[in-house]
Amino acid sequence: APASDMGKLLSKIFGNKEMRILMLGLDAAGKTTILYKLKLGQSVTTIPTVGFNVETVTYKNVKFNVWDVGGQDKIRPLWRHYYTGTQGLIFVVDCADRDRIDEARQELHKIINDREMRDAIILVFANKQDLPDAMKPHEIQEKLGLTRIRDRNWYVQPACATTGDGLFEGLTWLTSNHKS
């Protein structure tokens, strides 16, 4: 099958990579808004996700298969069913929700300590930066206990899902740190 060999060769040269991304975070953090802003370029009205949304977003020769899984506490135990094969975790935080940042930290550490997730790189979207009193990225990395994580590749990207600010910068970080 020379055609498929040619395809393989081209993707080697041009790096048409695929990356499996799992997007998690507490309910109302902005996961679904981020997914559809990336996919459609527009802000959509969302309802709480029960189950999951999955979309393919192509950016800079990389096909991101993004799984956005609902974050309400009752369904968080289902998250681990999506871990297998995940190369990048996007953890979304509502930076204006100071009351639940501790809960977000606990959930994040549960995820990254799971052995299925040990190879995943970690992108945190510090979302809702447009809101007054939103925590800044340095505060988020402190409160999420990321500064203590030495053996993992992580990055905090300030973002605003509704305007799209920071979203593609986040994807750029994922592509440049993805070990294919």
Phi, psi angle pair for 116, to nearest 5°: -65, -20
- 106 pLDDT more than 60: yes
pLDDT digits (tens, 9 = 90+) for 112-164: 999 999 999 999 999 999 999 999 999 999 999 999 998 999 999 999 999 99
- 11 pLDDT more than 70: no
Tell me if 86 is assigned to a ligand binding site. no
Tell me if 70 is assigned to a ligand binding site. no
Spot the catalytic one: 72, 87, 141, 157: 72
List Cα–Cα distances, 2 to 6, 7, 11, 69, 115, in angstroms: 6, 9, 14, 39, 39
Contacts of 173 (CB under 8 A, 6+ apart): 123, 155, 157
- With beta carbons less than 8 A apart as the criterion, state whether 145 and 105 touch: yes
**Interatomic CA distance for residues 44 and 89, integer angstroms:** 23
Joined together, the tokens standing for residue 168 give: 């593609």
Tell me if 164 is assigned to a ligand binding site. no
Tell me if 71 is assigned to a ligand binding site. yes
Model's pTM, two decimal places? 0.91
In CATH, which of 3.40.50.300, 1.10.10.10, 3.10.20.440, 3.40.50.920 is domain 17-177?
3.40.50.300
Mean residue pLDDT of the chain comes to 93
Q: Catalytic site residue 87?
A: no
